[in-house]
Each structure stands twice: as C-alpha cells, then as structure tokens.
Amino acid sequence: MRYSKYFIPTYKEIPAEAEIISHQLMLRAGMIRKLTSGIYTFLPLGLKAVRKVENIVREEMNRSGAIEVLMPAVQPAELWQESGRWDFYGKELLRLKDRHNHDACIGPTHEEVITDLVRREIHSYKQLPINFYQIQTKFRDEIRPRFGVMRCREFIMKDAYSFDVDEAGADKSYEIMYDAYTRIFRRCGLHFRAVEADSGSIGGSFSHEFMVLANTGEDEIVNCAACTYAANLEKAEVRARADGKDHGKPSPKPLEEVETPDVRTIDELTSFLSTGPDQIVKTLIFNSDGNVVAALIRGDHEVNEVKLKNLLSADQIELADPHLVEEVTGAPMGFAGPVGLRAKIIADHAIQGMANFIAGGNRVDLHLRNVNVDRDFTVDQFADLRMIARGDTCPRCRGEILFGRGIEVGHVFKLGTKYSKAMRAVYLDEKGEEKLIFMGCYGIGVARTVAAAIEQNHDEDGMIFPIPIAPFEVVLFPLQMYQSDVVAAAERIYKGLLDQKIDVLLDDRDVRPGVKFKDADLLGTPLRVTVSEKTLKQGKLEIKGRSEKTASLIPLASAPAAIAQRVKELYGSAE
C-alpha cells in the first residue's frame, strides 16, 4: 500500500475524550472514528487489524472443526420469549418494532437463533456433535460505553455454539474450544490467562474467561503463584479452613446491649467502640427472588453477591431497600443483626471462627456485644460468601494468591440444556428416544482484542503491534523523496516485498523525515526499513524493529529476502 494513496488521518494531540491508552492511540493513528456514543467506524488501518484477528480466529475455528455460518442481526421477539430472556435480559437488549408492529431486537448474542436453526435441522444423534460459528456484529446497549471499541455498543464478535448428545460430549467440545482459544490468543501475540469464571446456575468451573493481562483492564483477576489456579474476582473461592477453625475460641461472655447513637457503618462502629472490624459481624439483608435472606459477613470482609446468588439458586438478588430492611429488622438501615431476626440466615465461613462479636441490635441506635453463634441465634447455613482478599491463600494448594487486572477478550461457557429445554431442541438417539441436546457457547470480542493488544503493547511514542495483528508488517521509507535513486531503490524493494506477500506500507509522502518517523512509531508497524542517500552510497538499507532502540544495516542487494526473513522471525517470536 502507498501511504499517499491511502487514508490514515493521524492526530498529534491526545484526544480529550479518550481515557485509556489504546483508545487514545486508535484515534490518533486514524484507526477508528466515533459516530455516536459506543458506535464506531473502522477506518482502513483499524479494519486491517480487525481483519487480521478475524483471520486467525477463522483459521483456528475451522481447524477445530467448527463450521462458519452468518446469522442475522435482527431477531424476532418470539424466540427470546421462548427462551425466557425477553423479560430477563434488561436494557442492554435493543428492542424495536417493525412496520407490522412485531417486536424484535438487535442481537446481543445468538443462542436463540442458533437453537432455533438446530431444532429445525438436526434430528438425529448421527448429526451430532456439531459446532457453528460466525463473525458478526452485535449490539448491546451498554449502560456505560467507554474506552473506544473496548466497551462499545455495536461490536464485532466471533460467537460459536456447540451441540452434543450428552454432557461428556459437551465437555469435549468445551475442551476443543478452550484449546482453540489458547491458540488464537497465542497467535495474536498476547499475554493472557484463562481464568475460571462464574457459570451461574450451571455450576462447576465450566466457564473460563480469557483475560489479556493489562493494568487498565476492567476485570480484577487472581492467580496462584504456586499452581495453575486462576479465577476472576467474583468466582475466586476462599478456603473454608482458616476462616472456619473454631478451636481455641474464647468462651462466651454475657450478651450486652450497647447504645450506639447514629453509628451505622463499620468505620463509625470501630472508632466508636475502639475495636477492629474483624470483631464485628455485618448483617446484610437481601431480596432474593422476592424472599428475604440475611447474609452475615465479618466486618473487614466484603460480600460476594454472585456466590450468594448461586448458593440460593436465585435468578436475581439485590440488597434490600430501606423499607424492607425496616420491615424485617424493625430498625432503620445500619442496625440489622442476627439475634432475634426472623429471616433465613446464611453466614460466611469466617463467622464460624468468631466468638463474642459485635452485631446490630435490630433497634435504632443499638448494637450487641459478645454475640455468639448457637447461643444467641442459629445459622441456617455456613458457606463461602465473601470476596477473596489480599492475604488469602490459594483454594487449591495454599500457595500465595496474586492479584492483577485483565481485559476479557474471550469467554467459553458450558450451557447444558438451558436453551434446548426452553426451546425444545431435541434429537433421537440410537434407540429412537428423544433427548435434549447439550450446548456450549463461546465468544471472542474481535475489536476488543485489537484494543487489548495495544493496551498491552505500546510506549510513549505509540503502538507496538505484535506482527500477526499489525495493520502492516513493514513500513518502508524513502527518506529523501527528491532523490530519484532513493525513490527508485525504495520502489524496487517495495515491489520485491509485495512479491514475497509481505504486507508493506510504502511511505511515499513528500514530508519531512521527522514526520515519517513519528507516524511510523505511532502506527506501531513491527519493522521499519529506511532507504536514505547516506546508506544507499554504501549499498545498504537501515532496518529497525519497532521496539528496538537502534537500527541495523542490511545489504541492498539481498533486501527483500532479508526483510522477509526478519518478518518470519517476528512471527516466530510473537507466539
């Protein structure tokens, strides 16, 4: 490609609206432009990077045996009503009506559409297993679109759906996708980690998120320094043992009432009573699908609502509003406690190890001291209810738990029979009996992967693309455009590189060398080849890797082959 005939509208200044580096650089390098909130146009350079990710994804999906299809963006409401998600999905689902007043939505995901296809087309165990995928545009009306194409409303996703005769088959399909994802992100040249993620009511650890490691990532993740355990924060298990031990507990002291005027929060309480938060038990009242549940958590711990929701097998849980709190406890917010409480009580394991603790008194301005489980109240169930915290050890091997941040670029998920049951996707087995199909779903955010790669690979001058997803592999400069021999040599190399199928950008603009160097750094092209008057006299060219400090010289005569060799080496080291 010739720069002069191409379209790369770069900015010098950092765009004020862009908070994170990948967003800033994608705007500055002329890769994307915003149309409206969370909706972007890909300019040629951005599209090239997207297509490179897509190609890797497509190759690896095909290699894994998945079959490409293309499903529509607009989906009829009936399918979503059948699956039950029309009411459940909430405001991220963009709903519309057609001229016949039929409800429809713009697909945020395609479980319903693919299940509908499969229930019509697949009837026998002989047609299974099968895995369909597509690379297609999704729409999710995100509450807070931000960070450019990282979290936008309209975005390109690769989504795949596997169909199997039974659970064992579904596990195998899951494994195949997990391995394909590992190859995909490795081939993209990314540092990533697959972490266990919440799989809701499906249970088990049958959901993994593929996280690109980056400090600006929206997700907090943990991993063990000693073993392979890794999970996102909401999924991370907390070992029951340390929290749960109750040997050596002090003997119970008499229960005392303490007047605590206007003292409601843990901070207020610790300073008022001159005690540590680990001596206090918080009582959180939840509304779980219309039922009231009290969750007890140690004062210095944080409740994990996902764990609570899964434990209760609830569709939805939320903290009770002040009105409900008052109704249940008889006191305003801030004074709830377990003693005398008429609600199901679930307590975190840590409470098992506590004695003579402080808790709310279910009366305004009252707390209780020396509260003890069993003597003063009954716990219906002890469970792991809290967020993992610094200092906790690995739930598998007791190793050190490290905290980090990541960008979720992919997600693999075992669905079981959730959709096949709701939408009656069945097959006939060998005996002619009707059985439900087992499903899995697997997504990759294509443009988010590009943004994540930039987030992970940049310096103060611009992007440093891993070569497999770089818009161009090589940028070639004739430094003095007024020198015909310089231009002619550059043209020869350009042609030679094109013949070798190298994706090369010839910067043939008649601008100052400084401008070319700056733009090359901004664009993050992995290899830069400079043809200048000075080196040409020695029969040489300058070549420099984007992240190298200094350039080296290569003979002009063998140039295209030597450059192609460097490109090949970069591919080797990217993976």
Does 560 sit near ligand ATP (CB under 6 A)? no
Residue 267: count other Cβ atoms within 10 Å of its Cβ.
11
Stretch that binds ligand ATP, among 281-289, 427-435, 441-449, 490-498 (CB under 6 A): 441-449
CB closer to ligand ATP, 163 vs 210: 210
Q: Which amino acid is at 364?
A: V
Backbone angles phi, psi at 249, to 5 degrees: -70, 140
Sequence-distant (6+) residues with CB within 8 A of 321 are 287
Q: Which one, of 493, 474, 477, lies nearest residue 568 by Cα? A: 474
Does 148 sit near ligand ATP (CB under 6 A)? no
CB closer to ligand ATP, 52 vs 448: 448
Minimum CB separation of residue 85 from ligand ATP in Å reads 12
Compute CA distances 418 → 112, 132, 423, 534, whole Å: 11, 18, 9, 69
Minimum CB separation of residue 448 from ligand ATP in Å reads 4
Does 409 sit near ligand ATP (CB under 6 A)? yes
498: which 2 tokens? 């094109």
Minimum CB separation of residue 409 from ligand ATP in Å reads 5
Stretch that binds ligand ATP, among 148-156, 289-297, 331-339, 356-364 (CB under 6 A): 148-156
Stretch that binds ligand ATP, among 94-102, 266-274, 286-294, 409-417 (CB under 6 A): 409-417
Does 408 sit near ligand ATP (CB under 6 A)? yes
Does 151 sit near ligand ATP (CB under 6 A)? yes
3-state secondary structure of 495: helix
Does 106 sit near ligand ATP (CB under 6 A)? no
Q: How far apart are the C-alpha atoms of 53 and 469, rounded to whole Å? A: 6
CB closer to ligand ATP, 455 vs 519: 455
Does 443 sit near ligand ATP (CB under 6 A)? yes
E strand segments, 234-375: 256-259, 281-288, 291-298, 317-319, 344-348, 357-360, 366-371
**x/- string (CB under 6 A) for ligand ATP, residues 501-540?**
----------------------------------------
Q: How far apart are the C-alpha atoms of 118 and 415, rounded to whole Å? A: 15
Does 440 sit near ligand ATP (CB under 6 A)? no
Residue closest to ligand ATP (Cβ): 445
Minimum CB separation of residue 158 from ligand ATP in Å reads 8
Helices (H) and strands (E) in the chain, counts: 16, 31
Minimum CB separation of residue 318 from ligand ATP in Å reads 19
Minimum CB separation of residue 465 from ligand ATP in Å reads 19
Does 208 sit near ligand ATP (CB under 6 A)? no
CB closer to ligand ATP, 208 vs 516: 208
For the purposes of burial, counting CB atoms within 10 Å of the CB of 20, is it exposed (0-12), middle (13-18) or buried (19 or more)? buried
Minimum CB separation of residue 48 from ligand ATP in Å reads 19
| Sign (positive or negative) of CA dihedral 331, 334, 339, 345 | positive
Does 411 sit near ligand ATP (CB under 6 A)? yes
Residues in binding contact with ligand ATP, number by CB under 6 A:
14
Instruction: Choose which of 56, 66, 79, 157 interacts with ligand ATP (CB under 6 A).
Output: 157
Does 448 sit near ligand ATP (CB under 6 A)? yes
CB closer to ligand ATP, 157 vs 467: 157
CB closer to ligand ATP, 34 vs 411: 411
Instruction: Choose which of 299, 395, 406, 410 interacts with ligand ATP (CB under 6 A).
Output: 410
Does 32 sit near ligand ATP (CB under 6 A)? no
Stretch that binds ligand ATP, among 285-293, 443-451, 471-479, 566-574 (CB under 6 A): 443-451
Q: Which one, of 337, 400, 390, lies nearest residue 368 by Cα? A: 337
Minimum CB separation of residue 218 from ligand ATP in Å reads 7
Residue 208's beta-bridge partner residues? 196, 412
Q: How far apart are the C-alpha atoms of 41 and 46, rounded to whole Å? A: 9
Residue 102: count other Cβ atoms within 10 Å of its Cβ.
11
135: which 2 tokens? 């690379």
Instruction: Choose which of 23, 140, 369, 528 interacts with ligand ATP (CB under 6 A).
Output: 140
CB closer to ligand ATP, 42 vs 477: 42
Q: How far apart are the C-alpha atoms of 373 and 375, rounded to whole Å? A: 6
CB closer to ligand ATP, 140 vs 458: 140
228: which 2 tokens? 């392979």
177: which 2 tokens? 């996708």
Residue 286's beta-bridge partner residues? 293, 319
Instruction: Choose which of 66, 152, 308, 570 interacts with ligand ATP (CB under 6 A).
Output: 152
379, HSE (Cβ side, Cα atoms, 13 Å): 19
Q: How far apart are the C-alpha atoms of 131 and 177, rounded to whole Å? A: 10
Q: Are 25 and 458 in contact (CB under 8 A)?
A: yes
Residue 372: count other Cβ atoms within 10 Å of its Cβ.
18
Minimum CB separation of residue 405 from ligand ATP in Å reads 13
CB closer to ligand ATP, 208 vs 307: 208
Sequence-distant (6+) residues with CB within 8 A of 5 are none
Does 418 sit near ligand ATP (CB under 6 A)? no
Minimum CB separation of residue 408 from ligand ATP in Å reads 4
Q: How far apart are the C-alpha atoms of 487 and 481, rounded to whole Å? A: 6
Minimum CB separation of residue 209 from ligand ATP in Å reads 7
Q: How far apart are the C-alpha atoms of 244 and 569, rounded to whole Å? A: 54
Does 142 sit near ligand ATP (CB under 6 A)? yes
Q: How far apart are the C-alpha atoms of 376 and 370, rounded to whole Å? A: 10
> Which residues of the chain form contacts with ligand ATP (CB under 6 A)?
109, 140, 142, 151-152, 155, 157, 408-411, 443, 445, 448
